[in-house]
Amino acid sequence: MVKVTKEGLMRVKVDPDKCEGHNRCCALAPELFDVDDYGTATALNDGIVPPELEEKAKLAVQNCPEYAIEFVNE
């Protein structure tokens, strides 16, 4: 189930303890994810997903081999 913020926007979060640095999310959605100095993926823009990037966010969540990305409710 995709969760949304109170403003109606989708939001994602990367769990740095689960992320192993495969960075598939960065390849699939570079507008939404970046890599920190340790090679761990991070969500850009506080994890808020603009409507036009929702499909890319879903792909990133589905393709994370460590299940480190999730949709969050705010």
Which H or E run contains 49?
strand 48-49
Q: What's the CATH number where 62 sits?
A: 3.30.70.20
Cα dihedral across residues 43, 44, 47, 48: positive or negative: negative
pLDDT tens sequence for the chain (74 residues): 555 555 689 999 999 999 999 999 999 999 999 999 999 999 999 999 999 999 999 999 999 999 999 999 76
Structural domain including 19 reads: 10-68
Closest by CA to 59, choosing from 34, 31, 24, is 24
Half-sphere exposure of 16 (CA within 13 A, CB side): 9
Separation between Cα atoms, residue 57 and residue 49, nearest integer Å:
7
Residue 3 lies in a domain: no
Total-model pTM: 0.87
Q: How many domains would you assign to the chain?
A: 1
Residue 1 lies in a domain: no
